[in-house]
Structures are given as structure tokens and as C-alpha cells.
Structure 1
Amino acid sequence: MTQQFAERATNVAPTGARNAGLSDLVRILEDQNRRKLDVIAPASALRFREGNVHVEGVESLITEDGVTEVDGIYRPTAVADEGIADKLRIPLAYLRRMRAENVPLLDENVNAWLRNDPGRRFMLRAFRGENAPGMPPAEGVARALLSDSYKLMDNLDMLLAALDGVRQSGHPTQVTGCDLTDRRMYVRVESEAVAVQARALLRGYRSPFDGRSGDELPMISAGFVITNSEVGSGAYTITPRAVIQVCRNGLTETKDVMRAVHLGGKQDEGIVSWSDQTQRKTLELITSKTADAVRTFLSREYVEAKVRAMEDAAGKPLAEPTKTIEHVTKTLSIGAEAKDMILAHFVRGGQMTAGGVMNAITSTAQTLTDADQAAALEALAVPALTAAAAHG
């Protein structure tokens, strides 16, 4: 019985995407917006039963479009469980164990801490369930439990504002891939019109995917990646991202990231609804910041400076590549499975240098099915270059 509850409570709605096109991402986000429900609720209105969040006693919203019911049952995602653990100061590992092995104990623990401070307010981000005619209300999905001062900066709004900023920058670009997870949205943008030669960086390298030579195509395109989280897993960011044309590996420069955080003032209880003026000001700022970031990151001078800064370290030969990769993965806390994949990509890449380690990490990231893990691994490529060159 307990295991049945655990499986039901952790079942996540299929709303993600990996390497999707822009139009597919927009379609998914539009569908999500139709089902979103954001509510400020006191702890006294929240209860755990059978591992699910029950909302009780929150006033419905009545508009010209009809009545939006808030009370109901919402199945927590893994991200929501993390928020519950954080806000109630329950050790996450313990919460996960209760979820897997003893859901009634999970209910008891969460409810005890909610009762401890019944007036404390939270923001619950959820998706409403799809109700069939004549059937009882369907379970929804609890996406996140956040502070009541969390500022909503939703993916679709951020995406459209960012793309407007890209348009205003005047640079020719294309969206080369989009990811959407329970945690974040990722949109990769590239400008092949801004490409620089990187012969020293790619000397001796070949694509582990099709064997093409970096010596024959030593070009790196300028680009960036747009990210946003609706559930408290990070700010809205634009991070410069160079693309190695021969293998499509991405090199993100996290030190130069532009970010906008999700912080706002305390909000009244009930369904969250930002005024048109507030939303407009926020989005105008995002558009302006994006345009400024794009003008910088898609500058040929910027890309050339970054490439030149990596060349010396990238060319350093490795006397014992296996030991170097062992050192790099341990230093950067990369797991054993990913380490083995990186070593295999390093061998296929044929570049027995510190640069080969960097390229092995970025090509490995391309093959991961989990977009969050892929982005996290790709972000370690430049630090890995530094660590590999220092180890020798």
C-alpha cells in the first residue's frame, strides 16, 4: 500500500522536452499556462494525505471567464518535495526515504510542521488537473512550494521578452535547441554570422560523433543560452555559449552570465495575479537586458578574446590522460558513470591534450537525456580545461 502511494505521488505530468524546436517549446508552454494555478496559502490550508498536497479552504477566484477552484489534490514533483523539505526544514534525504518507504510517516511529519506555524504563508505553484465532464475533479500537480515573496517570471513571458531583445539587438541568430524540465527552461541561440577560427584550440581533434576533423573545420560560432526557472531553481539568465561547428559542442562561459532574480514583495493570500503594469515593466526590463547581453556576447571581439584565453591551456599535452580525467572528475564532483563516458569521448576525440578533456565533457553533455544534468556538465567544461592543464 505504501509503495502504491509513493508511486502515485511522485508521478510527474509529461510536460518536458529535450532538444525541441522553438515552436514545440512555445506550444508546450502555452498548454502549461492554460493549466497553471498559483496561490498564496497559509499552512493551515495545506495538508499531506497519501503523499499528496491537499489544499482546503482557499477562496475560489471568480472572473468573467468563470470560477477557478483552488481546493483540491496536487501530486508533488521531486522539485516540490525539495521545496517542502526546505521550507519545513525536514532533511531532504529523510523526506525522500519516507516518500519511498513509509508515506503515512511522511504525511505525519509534514502535517506536524504545518500545524506548528499555521499562519505561515507559502506560494504553491501547481498545474490543475484535466477534468472530464461528469467526473470528480482530477488530481493536479504540485510543482513547487515557495516563499510568499517569490516573484513570478514565467517561462513563456521570459522567452518572448528575450526573443524580442534578440530581435532588437539586430544580430542574425537562430534557435538551435530547447529543453524544458520540471526545474528549468533552456533555449540555445547561435549566430553563425559571428564565427572565429580556433585552430590552436581544435588542433588534432575529431568529432566523436562522425569523425570530422577540427583541423579541417576549426570554426567556433558565437551564441548564448537563455534559462529560466518557474519553481525556484534559479534566476532568469543569459549565458554566453560558443559552439564548436565540427561537433556542435557548446562551451558556456558562466563567469559572464547576465541574471535577473525572482525576488519580490510579500503578497496577499489567494490566487496570484500580477497587474498588467507590473508585468509590462518586468518584461520591458528583460527585453532591454537581453538586447544588451546579446550585443556583447555576439561580438566577434568577445568570442576571439575567450578563444585566445583558452588556447594555451588547451594545447598542453597529457602524459597520463586516464589519471588526468580521474583527477578532473573528482575535483569537479562528476560522478563515475559520467566519468566513464567522458573517457570514452576523450579517446574517440583523439586530442591528447587538456583541450581534449574539455571537448570530451561537452560532447558527453550532448548525449545525456536529462537536460538539467547536460547543462550542469557543459558548464564544467572550461573549469575542466583549467584543472586538466594544471594536472598535466
Structure 2
Amino acid sequence: MTQQYAQRTAVRTNAEGARNATLEDLATILQTQQERKLDVIAPASALDMRDGNLVIRGVEPHIQPTGVVNVDGTYRPTDVADEGFADKLKIPTQYLRRLRAEHLPLYDLNVNGWLEQEPERRFLVRALRSDAAAPGGEPGEGVARAFLSDSYRLIDNFDLLLAALDGIRQSGHAAQVTGCDLTDRRMYVRVESDEVAVQARELLKGYRSPYTGQTGDELPLISAGFVIRNSEVGAGAFTITPRAVVQVCTNGLTMTEDVMREVHLGGKQDDGVIQWSGATQSKVLELITAKTTDAVRTFLSRDFVEGKLRGIEAAAGRPVANPTQTIEHVTKKLNISGPVKDRILAHFIQGRQITAGGVMQAITAAAQQIPNADASYDLEALALPALRAAAAYAA
């Protein structure tokens, strides 16, 4: 079981997110979000930017079992929402970010000016309602989470999580959720198998865990697993990606070439608050359950993991003659920044595996220590490209 070697610490990053959380913690956060979510299709003429905040006006109140929900109000954009304004209105992202930081009146003029160009054009605003009322009794300031196309299909994290867990249950495989991350952009759920652990003596020969000091020769096992990823705000499709886990250090090896994917595209929606029909939502969630069941049967198998290992081991064993130059070459080729590059070199030295495989292990070890879950996932996904780059450079 890999969990006993994990050095991760669960961190609640903010009111809406978490890092290395338990499944129970993630479910609690998502359920709390569900109660505040508001998804509105509105024309540009109903949208206005004031002091850097999005104002929605003229949208009919929404009646739900808990009472009447006022849609009109003020919503503070997240960075993700700002990127949506930039994308949909064709304003350079860096320019819009600079205006928010240095010149809010000009920020408002830019966004409002382009909204006024196409007043009938419709957008989806994904928001969170405020729990508190303003002093005058009006709704308090909410959060604009995303600014998207009106054809964006909603697959909410909470519903997806329940459907995926049902898929794991239906597979009959004793898989476990070993960690979860939630950011403004994405949800990540890591699944591992107690039943599928394969020998990887050649891959881990000479490797030493930077966390425990234990060697790969002492514990040469890799567990099968996968990671479920979803974005509610347009930052990527729902995906299930195989992920092997090195037991001696819990480094994760994400195999992005085998990803299962479901994009968030659908038909045009009517104006107002979005309410999916039960039948439509049921079909989407049934598909997610089925895909998760397929992923368990495909990725949590000894044959799959052993087949992947055979393709990795030849390149992993190639000796690295000059570690500093090799890390410089690999990080430059993969566009990895200076501070992260230095951390990778430090892990390479600590790992004591002076091979292309050691470069791969250094990438995955460094990824574990990055506080931002999105950046961590992106770095871990570069481990196999780094292995190939290091092996080619050493040839």
C-alpha cells in the first residue's frame, strides 16, 4: 500500500479549494459549493463591468425549493473569469490583467466597450452567490467563477465525483481514493489499487527516496492507478488518465497518451438560470460512470502496467554523464521555469540514480512539493517527456 510512505499534508487552500484533501473533505467542500452555485445565460446587454466587478441586471429571479434566488447583483471575477473575458471578447490576457492591477477604470472601459459591440451575444456566467446580504438588503457580492460560451455543457464536480465513485464500485475492483485537490480551475481525484502492484527492479535500481531514505532496491514496487480531472470553468475536459505510483516515494507517473476524455460542449441554452432536465443530466452522469468503470478495468490491470514499464525501462536505464547540463537541457526543452528547475536538480542529486530514469523521478518528486495543484499536475505530466528528452541527450 503506497499511502504509508506518503509525505503529503492535507491543506485547505481557501474557502473553495483544498490540496491533498481526503475524499470526505472534498465531498464536503463540493456540497457546500453546490448550495451557492448560480449558472446564468445572459446577453451582453445585461452585463456591465463596474470597478472591476461584473454586474448582472434584468435577469428574472429564479424559483427553487429553498426560495426565490435573485440573479441580478454584483460578482467579483476570479482570475479564471478574467481569462474568460479576455478570450470571449478578444482582449489580450496579459493586457487585461495589467489593467486590473493598475487601472480599473480602463479595465471597465475595455470590457464594457466590447460587450456593447454585440449586445445580443449571449454568454454563460458561472457564479457563486454570496451567503450574506448587503447593508441595504440587496444580495451581497458574489463570485464570478467563469465567463464562457452559451454552448458550454455543465458537468459539475460533485455530480461527477459521485458518478465516478459509482463507476469504481460497479467495477468490483478494490480501488481507493488516496488524495484529492480542488482549485479555482480544476478538481483532481487520485485513485490507486491495493491489488495491482508490479515489480520494477530495473526502473528503480539505485534510486533512493528523498523523503524516507529507503531505496528502490528495497521496495521495487509500482502500483496501478489513475487520476480523474474535471473543470467546471472551461479549463479542460473531464479526463481519466492512468497514473502509476512508485511505492518507495509515492512519486506519481502520469501517462497522458492513454487519457480518456469527455469535452464540455453542448447545444445552445435559453436565456436565464440554467436547469438541466433530469433525463439530460442522467445521461451525462451515466456516461461518466461507464467511462470510470472502463478506466478501472483498463488501467488497474497488471498487464497494462507491465506493458507500460517495458516501454519505459530501456530509456530509463541510460546513464547521465553530466547531470547539470542534462537537467538544463531537459527543462529548457520542456519550458520549465528556473525555481522549479533548481528543485528538479536537487531531487536528482538526492535520488542518486544517475540515469534518464533518475531525471524522470526528479520531475515527479518535485511535482509533489508544489503547493499549486494545477502546476503540480502539469509538472508531473512532463515526467515521461523528460525521460525521453534525457535519454536522447545522453545518447
Under a length normalisation based on structure 1, what TM-score does the superposition of the two structures give?
0.96
Is the CA contact 2:134–2:140 (under 8 Å) kept in the aligned structure 1?
no
Aligned to 2:24: 23
Number of the residue aligned with 1:79: 80
CA distance in 2, matches of 1:13, 1:136: 25
Residue 249 of structure 2 corresponds to residue 262 of structure 1: no
Q: Distance in 1 between matches of 2:207 and 2:76?
A: 47
SS at match of 1:352: coil
Q: Report how far residue 169 of structure 1 moved.
A: 1.0
Of 132-141 and 310-319, deviating more is 132-141
1:14 aligned partner: 15
Larger deviation, residues 226-235 vs 61-70 = 61-70
Sequence identity percentage: 67
Check the 8 A contact 1:222/1:241 in 2, yes or no: yes
Q: Which residue of 1 aligns with 2:59?
A: 58
Distance, in Å, in 2 between the alignment partners of 1:24 and 1:133 is: 30
- Aligned residue for 1:348? 350
Choose the corresponding residue for 1:363, options 345, 362, 365. Answer: 365
Do the aligned residues in 2 keep the contact of 1:13 with 1:141 (CA within 8 Å)?
Answer: no
Give the one of 385, 388, 392 matched to 2:387: 385
- Judge conservation of contact 2:42–2:272 (CA < 8 Å) in 1: yes
Letter in 1 for 2:163: A
Distance 1:199 1:77 in 2: 46
- Cα 1:308–1:18 shift into 2, 3 Å: same
Q: Tell me, in whole angstroms, the C-alpha distance in 1 between the residues paired with 2:191 and 2:140.
A: 38
Retained in 2: the 8 A contact 1:250–1:378? yes
- 1:4 matched to which residue of 2? none
Q: 1:47·1:53 contact (CA, 8 Å) conserved in 2? A: yes
Match of 2:106, SS state, is helix
- Partner of residue 285, structure 1: 287
The aligned counterpart of 2:6 is none
Q: Report how far residue 25 of structure 1 moved.
A: 0.1
Structure 1 counterpart of 2:187 = 185
For 1:58, what is the secondary structure of its paired residue?
A: coil
Please give the alpha-carbon distance, in whole angstroms, between the structure 2 residues aligned to 1:244 and 1:335.
25
**How far apart are residue 170 of structure 1 and its match?**
1.2
Deviations 1:175-219 (A, max 9, x none): 110000000000000002101000000001000112110010000
Point out where structure 2 has 5 or more consecutive residues left out of the alignment.
1-12
Selected match of 1:248 from 250, 255, 259: 250
SS in 1 for 2:28: helix
> What per-residue deviation string (whole Å, max 9, x for no partner) do you get for residues 334-392 of structure 1?
11110000000110101000000000000100011000000000000011000000001
Work out the CA distance in 2 between the residues paired with 1:124 and 1:159.
22
Cα separation, 1, equivalents of 2:70 and 2:230: 28
Deviations 1:98-124 (A, max 9, x none): 011000000011000000000000000
The amino acid of 2:167's aligned partner reads G
Q: What letter matches 2:104 in structure 1? A: V
Does the C-alpha gap of structure 1 residues 297 and 64 become closer, same or farther in structure 2, counting only changes over 3 Å?
Answer: closer
Q: Are the equivalent residues in 1 in contact too, given 2:243–2:253 (CA < 8 A)?
A: yes
CA displacement at 1:132 relative to structure 2 = 4.7
Structure 1 unmatched ranges of 5 or more: 1-11
Q: Please show how residues 217-236 of structure 1 align to structure 2 within 5 Å.
A: 217-236=219-238
Paired residues for 1:319-358 under 5 Å: 319-358=321-360
Equivalent residue for 1:40? 41
Give the total of aligned pairs: 381
Provide the residue aligned with 2:120 in structure 1: 119
Equivalence map 1:284-303=2 (5 Å): 284-303=286-305
**Which consecutive segments of 4 or more residues in structure 1 shift more than 3 A?**
132-136
Aligned equivalents of 1:50, 1:305: Cα separation in 2: 56
For residues 103 and 222 of structure 1, what CA distance do their matches in structure 2 show?
49
Shift in Å, 1:137: 2.0
Contact kept? 2:38, 2:126, Cα under 8 Å: yes
> Quick one: distance in 1 between partners of 2:122 and 2:325?
51
1:290-309 CA-to-partner distances (Å, cap 9, x unmatched) read 10111000010000010111
Cα distance in structure 2, aligned partners of 1:373 and 1:131? 33
Residue 210 of structure 2: which of 200, 208, 217 is its match? Answer: 208
Look up the SS of the partner of 2:105 in the other structure: helix
Q: In structure 2, what residue type is equivalent to 1:67?
A: V
Q: Is the 8 A contact 2:315 2:357 kept in 1?
A: yes
Conserved? CA contact 1:197–1:219, under 8 Å = yes
* Secondary structure, counterpart of 2:345 in structure 1: helix
Q: Is the 8 A contact 1:201 1:311 kept in 2?
A: yes
**Residue 145 (structure 1) aligned to one of 136, 144, 147:** 147
User: Secondary structure of the residue that 2:327 maps to in structure 1?
Assistant: helix
Q: For 2:37 and 2:158, how far apart are their aligned partners in 1?
A: 12
Tell whether 2:144 aligns with 1:171. Answer: no
The 2-side partners of 1:95 and 1:23 are apart by 38
Cα distance in 2 for partners of 1:13, 1:301 equals 41
Aligned-residue RMSD, C-alpha: 1.1
TM-score by length of 2: 0.95
The DSSP-based 3-state class of the residue aligned with 2:165 is helix
Structure 2 counterpart SS, 1:304: helix
